Structure 1
Amino acid sequence: MTQALADMRRDYTRDGLTEAQAPGEPFALFHQWFEQARNTEQAPVEANAMTLATVDARGRPHCRVLLLKGLDDQGFTFFSNYDSAKGEQLAANPWAAMTFFWPALERQVRIEGAVQKVTHQESDAYYQVRPLGSRLGAWASPQSRVIADRAELESLLADTEQRFRDNAPHCPEHWGGYRLLPERIEFWQGRPSRLHDRLNYRLENGQWLRERLAP
């Protein structure tokens, strides 16, 4: 097994990333790469899937895959149960990192920064466009809590369906959005022989500084 893992590799030859191709600020480049990922990646890859890393009150890291659901000049928005493990971690340490990986394009984007809750109005606006099952699930699931078995979850969902039998579910107070406000965004483009291109944008005194990192 060890030798089999050691022999697993591919050479990245699709593209490069030069300073001439990169704008002075990172959001324009992210939008460009994201649209290319949407048009290139094939199922089961989701272009807006990203790994979110958080740190708990004891300084221990945790990561999981989420879906990006909002992007503007302020930052990157995702949604969750505020009482979940990640919600507790962000309450204790409101800093996080996220990584997008688009294998068909041989690209990766790493983002780091502070995290804050979005307004309830923003959360409600997204909640209302979710499928009904997802809206009910936000009420039914005690996210990250230990449950006895699948039957308990299905029972909680049945109770929730009964509760909202005559009225559409509204956005719960314990559920909503977070926005990561980036202070660092790194664009990674795979290149042959592991000599990858890495352009890093770093926010300093309100201005984005661009620098090349060694692979």
Structure 2
Amino acid sequence: MGGSVRSEYSGEGLSESELAATPLQQVRRWVDEATARQAERGDVVEPTALSVATVDADGRPNVRTVLMRFLDERGPGFVTDLGSAKSQEIGSTGTVAASLTWPAMFRAVRFRGRAVPVGRDEITAYFASRPWGSRISAWASDQSQPIADRAALVAAYERYAARYPDTGSADDVPVPDGWGGWRIECDEVELWAGRRDRLHDRLVFTRVGAGGLDTAAAWSVHRRQP
């Protein structure tokens, strides 16, 4: 086995004095900075790429990457097929963990909490904002289910494209009944910032009371060792 490649984490870190008053404010700040860096340097390709971890019926973990489509005081959220493996596992346990990671910036955010369905009105509004082709693919793909080959997937896409032609209207493709999303009602939000010599910063918001991600009184902050 060849020698390992080591990188020095030359991030700016994160101190308690720099931390925003609430988890929502801090996460939004970092998402905005990651988005700006992608526009300027191009080295944060998907600033809202969210790794979602679940547990299956046998207790084995699963992880996959989606895009964070919602972020407000109720928590981060994403869209998916409600019959997918992730949805079935979330529905079974009621809990979920997720993370945003920006290696080029030596930063990451971890979310842990309870999973709740995204409201149908929000799903409908978001679905209408998607490009026509993405709305068609939501119909064509029976997410997580086996399929014979790519040709079969393309054929399904073409069938639905013919059924719902592109008219330039936001409502030319209806929302599939089995398409929805999940939001994480967080009880913990951890901010990780890489530093030299592996002395990284880990500042954690832990829920101590009622309120959303933008309610300061609902959270306490402590530092974890790296």
State whether residues 50 and 68 of structure 1, in contact with CA within 8 Å, keep that contact through their aligned partners in structure 2.
yes
Amino acid at match of 1:182: C
- Please give the secondary structure, in 1, of the residue aligned with 2:130: coil
Partner residue of 2:160? 160
Match of 2:31 among 6, 31, 34: 34
**Matching of residue 196 in structure 1 with residue 200 in structure 2:** yes
Q: What TM-score comes out, normalization by structure 1 length?
A: 0.94
Point out the more displaced range, 147-156 or 19-28.
19-28
Other-structure match for 1:120? 120
Specify the code of the residue in structure 1 equivalent to 2:162.
Q
1:127-142 matches, within 5 Å, as 127-142=127-142
Does the CA-based 8 Å contact 1:24-1:208 persist in structure 2?
A: no
Picking from 6, 9, 19, the partner of 1:12 is 9
52-61 or 145-154: which moved more? Answer: 52-61
Contact 1:24/1:210 (<8 A) preserved: no
Note the C-alpha offset of 1:211.
Answer: 0.1
Q: How far 1:48 moved relative to its partner?
A: 0.4
**Structure 2 contact 35–44 (Cα < 8 Å) conserved:** no
* 1:79 matched residue in structure 2: 79
Deviation of 1:44 after TM superposition, in Å, equals 6.3
Equivalenced residue count is: 212
Give unpaired runs (5+ residues) of structure 1: none
Q: 1:166 to 1:136 in 2, by over 3 A?
A: closer
- The code of the aligned residue for 2:109 comes to V
1:22 partnered with 2:26: no
SS at match of 1:20: coil
1:176 to 157, 176, 180: 180
Q: Give the superposition deviation at 1:78.
A: 0.4
* Whole-angstrom CA distance in 1 between matches of 2:37 and 2:180: 30
1:166–1:98 CA distance, 2 compared to 1 (3 A): closer
Gap runs ≥5 in structure 2: 211-217
For 1:83, what is the secondary structure of its paired residue? coil
The residue type paired with residue 147 of structure 1 is I
Greater displacement, 202-211 / 164-173: 164-173
Other structure's SS at 1:59 match: coil
Contact kept, 8 Å, 1:82 with 1:88, in 2: the verdict is: yes
- Aligned pair partner of 1:208 in 194, 209, 219: 219
Q: Does structure 1 retain, via aligned residues, the 8 Å contact 2:44–2:102?
A: no
Q: Which runs of 4+ in 1 moved over 4 A?
A: none
Output aligned runs, 1:33-72, within 5 Å. Answer: 33-41=30-38, 42-43=42-43, 45-72=45-72
Amino acid at match of 2:223: R
